[in-house]
Amino acid sequence: MSVKKGLLGLNPPQREAAETISGPVLILAGAGTGKTRTVTTRIAGMLYSDIPGSQILAVTFTNKAAAEMRDRVASMVDQKMAEDVTICTFHSLCVRILRTCIERLGYKKNFTIYTASDQQGLLRKIIVRKVSKDEKLEPKVASMAISSAKNRGERPEDLDDALIAEVYRTYQRELRQLNAVDFDDLLILAVQGLKENPDIKKQWQRRFRYFMVDEFQDTNHLQMSLLRLLVGPEKNVCVVGDDDQSIYGWRGADISNILDFERFFPGPKIVKLEENYRSTNRILRLANGLIRHNRGRREKTLWSGRGEGELTRLIAMPDAETEADFVINDIVEEHRLQNRSYDDIAILFRMNTQSRLFEEKLREHEIPYKVIGGQSFYERREVKDVLAYLNLLMNNDDDVSLLRIITTPPRGIGENAIGMATQFSIDRQCSIFDALHDIEFLASLSMRAQNAISRFLEFLDRYTDSANTDSVNYAAMTEAMLEEIGYTDYVKRICKSPDEADMRRRNVHEFLEGMHQHVSNRKTGLRGFLDAVALMQDKEEKEDDKENGTGVSLITMHAAKGLEFPKCFIVGVEEGVLPHSRSVEEGSRDEERRLFYVGITRAMEKLTITWCHSRRRYGDLMPCMPSSFFKELDEDELEKTDYQTLADEPADEELAADYFARMKEMLSK
């Protein structure tokens, strides 16, 4: 009966899926039909029937989804029970696997996880060395090409482009030498580790008995391989997904995994869910009408018991500035008149850069908000500097970090010495750290440089020791280290204004605070903290720390998948933005349509879609066209207006005055 209690709040098909804990289960259902709720309740139900949490693994696609699932499970069962369940992303699961067995694959245990910017730093170095000036290759382009090759399981020799193949080969060799792995390697190496080492595979298969994967439509082949390796002969594996919400094709995600699921895990119980518990029928019909334009898709029934609701507004704006003003005004009004919590409101967009204007306006109006995803705190220059120091202390062979900090602040080791050390490390196939120790290398330098290097190495050794000692206060250690090298003064020097220097100092402080908290809460050591940062696991937590974590959410439609908000704005919906021109070029219009579908289906009660007649691009004002997807939206579910009409309404006098004032200003320029 306690099992039943756990499964309360599910409808019959959901319940059937939750109760079927033996053998494969495939839940295929549209947006908002309670797939995730079924999974979380399923976990809770299992815990109620005395299955140890430690045997349960639930994999999600983003850290945010993992955190949310963990919270939801924790609210349903005893705290202790919930803690034992492993709920994480594929990537963090791989890190856990690799920390136990990467030595079998020729890496050292203290390997560093390279973020996108570390990766591009390394690629830049390789490109400069390998590629002549006339064939120009952007590090970013190279990283995309290499990443997609890796996700397709292709080796350098499988690539058509000889240039990329050569860069790829060198890149991979260097990563190994630096004892570093990139994001894709996490998956590749974990799969390889399990495949090549039956004992390790057995060990991990014994570790978990029950598996769940949310947003299964977004898994790629590597992730599928990993799942197959982990799932034991019992095949207790439940995956949930929606082919209409597949939006990560560009990362190698392939919905044919859904078909393959039946192949690898034969005879699954297939569950279909048709009742949407999230949105009003008007919103649902709008979304269904749009997605129906995708070719080769299986039609789904989807209905809602939440009433008809309001029409979706589709509003034309003169420019992005006015758009932001309008949205923020609407939010203020809703908050004041309807007493709507800011937490219930989200602004969705296609690209992270689109959030900036909205952030500014929200700050202006002193409205609390949170930017989810986007330019991370950890991408800040000063934070990256400190991170590079810490990464280097944990892995002295990490040349990318070493090269970053050896001149930050300048310490008498200049371009010349660094260039020679790099060359030496290439010739000798060793790390730069090792090169700096080499007597023969040192002999080729001036006395001055030799002294600077030996001071630097002494410094590194000293802090490497404390960083690798347990029960050290790492934040205090880092602070002492920064003090010793005069980092704060250095920052002051390179900043243009005292304000900027102050902000950067505060960022470093906040970073150290966060580090201290993470390390003392989880007892994972400095290594664990650095892994979490690389996997971007801490981002959300930071938000929460900022008391109650309340506010309007600013989020891309990609990152919003799986979330829901009573009131949503989808902004900047212009041709070239959604669908994005690059996607149209690549022929993935259908995926863009799915993305729009995901955006629309985030809204529970009220949806507003806006677009601009003109938008600033590369500095100057460019005319824009409305998204071609608008033609596919059912007119009956829409209330089409433009800003002018709204501004003429008396309620918005203030806003109109604002607008005309700005027009005047623009004309007078």
Ligand X SMILES: Nc1ncnc2c1ncn2[C@@H]1O[C@H](COP(=O)(O)OP(=O)(O)OP(=O)(O)O)[C@@H](O)[C@H]1O
Which one-letter amino acid corresponds to residue 124? R
Question: Of 143, 401, 601, 610, which lies in the binding site for ligand X, with binding defined by CB under 6 A?
Answer: 601
Bridge-based pairing state of the strands 210-213 and 552-556:
unpaired
We find the least distance from the C-beta atom of residue 541 to DNA, in angstroms, to be 13
Cis check: omega of the bond before 626, within 30 degrees of 0? no
Q: Which does 558 bind (CB under 5 to 8 A by kind): ligand X, DNA, none?
A: DNA
**Cβ-count burial of 259 within 10 angstroms (0-12 exposed, 13-18 middle, 19+ buried)?**
exposed
In whole angstroms, the minimum distance from the beta carbon of 278 to ligand X comes to 4
Is residue 35 within the footprint of ligand X (CB under 6 A)? yes
Residues contacting residue 643 through CB under 8 Å, at least 6 positions apart = 315, 316, 317, 318, 322, 326, 659
Q: Which one of 115, 223, 245, 601 is the catalytic residue?
A: 245
Would you say 35 or 580 has its CB closer to ligand X? 35
Assess 14 for contact with ligand X (CB under 6 A): yes
Q: What is the DSSP string of 296-349?
A: T------EESS---PPEEEEEEEEHHHHHHHHHHHHHHHHHHS---GGGEEEEE
Choosing from 350, 370, 542, 602, the catalytic residue is 602
Active-site pick, 68, 184, 214, 323? 214
Residues that bind DNA (CB under 7 A): 61-64, 89-92, 116, 124, 128, 138, 140, 144, 183-184, 247-248, 250-251, 350-353, 373-374, 381, 407, 409-417, 449, 493-494, 535-536, 556, 558-559, 580, 582-583, 586, 616-619
Q: Between 99 and 411, whose beta carbon lies closer to DNA? A: 411
Quick one: tokens of 308?
């008809």
Residue with smaller CB distance to ligand X, 279 or 431: 279
Q: Which is nearer to ligand X, 41 or 396 (CB)?
A: 41
> Bridge partners of 316?
611, 642
* Window 244-303: residues binding ligand X (CB under 6 A): 245, 277-278
CA atoms of 463 and 390, how far apart (whole Å): 9
User: Between 301 and 330, how does the x/- string for binding to ligand X read (CB under 6 A)?
Assistant: ------------------------------
* Residue recorded with tokens 């880092």: 478
Would you call 322 exposed, middle or buried from its count of C-beta atoms within 10 A (0-12, 13-18, 19+)?
A: buried
| 112 makes contact with ligand X (CB under 6 A) | no
Active-site hit among 14, 19, 33, 36: 36
- Segment 221-250, which members bind ligand X (CB under 6 A)? 242, 245
Alpha-carbon span 649 to 137, nearest angstrom? 53
CA-wise closest residue to 110 among 527, 461, 435, 534: 527
390 binds ligand X (CB under 6 A): no
Shortest distance in whole angstroms from residue 151 CB to DNA: 9
* Token representation of residue 602: 């985030």
> Is residue 558 involved in binding ligand X (CB under 6 A)?
no
Question: Of these residues, 15, 19, 33, 35, which one is catalytic?
Answer: 35
449 binds, among ligand X, DNA, none (CB under 5 to 8 A by kind): DNA
Minimum gap (Å) between residue 466 Cβ and DNA: 25
How many angstroms separate the CA atoms of 657 and 655, rounded? 5
Which of the listed partners (DNA, ligand X, none) does 586 bind, with a CB threshold of 5 to 8 Å by partner kind?
DNA
- Structural tokens at position 536: 């971007």
Question: According to the binding rule CB under 6 A, does residue 32 interact with ligand X?
Answer: yes
Of 33, 92, 280, 556, the one binding ligand X by CB under 6 A: 33
527 is catalytic: no
CB 567 within 8 A of CB 602: no
**Is 512 within 8 Å of 526 (Cβ atoms)?**
no
Please confirm, yes or no, whether 215 is among the known catalytic residues: yes
Does residue 517 carry a catalytic annotation? no
The Cα 228–Cα 221 span in angstroms is 10
> Residue 57: which residues within 8 A CB-CB, separation 6 or more?
85, 86, 87, 93, 208, 210, 211, 212, 230
Structural Rg of the chain based on CA atoms: 27
**Interacting span for ligand X (CB under 6 A) from 25-33, 112-120, 585-593, 617-625:** 25-33
Catalytic residue (one of 68, 185, 215, 244) = 215
Regarding 13 and contact with ligand X (CB under 6 A), the answer is no
In the complex, the smallest distance separating the C-beta of residue 267 from DNA, rounded to whole angstroms, is: 31
213 sits near ligand X (criterion: CB under 6 A): no
217 is catalytic: no
245 is catalytic: yes
Active site residue 330: no
Query: Considering the rule CB under 6 A, would residue 34 count as an interface residue with ligand X?
Result: yes
**Closest CB to DNA among residues 251, 335:** 251
The distance of closest approach from Cβ of residue 473 to DNA in the complex, given in angstroms and rounded to an integer, is: 29
User: How many other CB atoms are there within 10 angstroms of residue 375's CB atom?
Assistant: 12
Query: Does the footprint of ligand X cover residue 73 (CB under 6 A)?
Result: no
Residue among 268 and 514 whose Cβ is closer to DNA: 514
Site track 486-525 with ligand X (rule: CB under 6 A), x = hit: ----------------------------------------
Q: What is the dihedral of CA 196, 200, 202, 206, to 10 degrees?
A: -150
Distance CA 463, CA 180 (A): 20
Instruction: Give 632's DSSP letter.
Output: G
CA distance 206 to 34: 30
DSSP letters spanning 87-98: EEEHHHHHHHHH
> Among 18, 24, 36, 209, which residue interacts with ligand X (rule: CB under 6 A)?
36
CA distance 484 to 482: 5
Is residue 562 within the footprint of ligand X (CB under 6 A)? yes
Give the catalytic positions in this structure: 35-36, 214-215, 245, 602
**Chain residues that interact with ligand X, rule: CB under 6 A:** 9-11, 14, 31-37, 242, 245, 277-278, 562, 564, 601
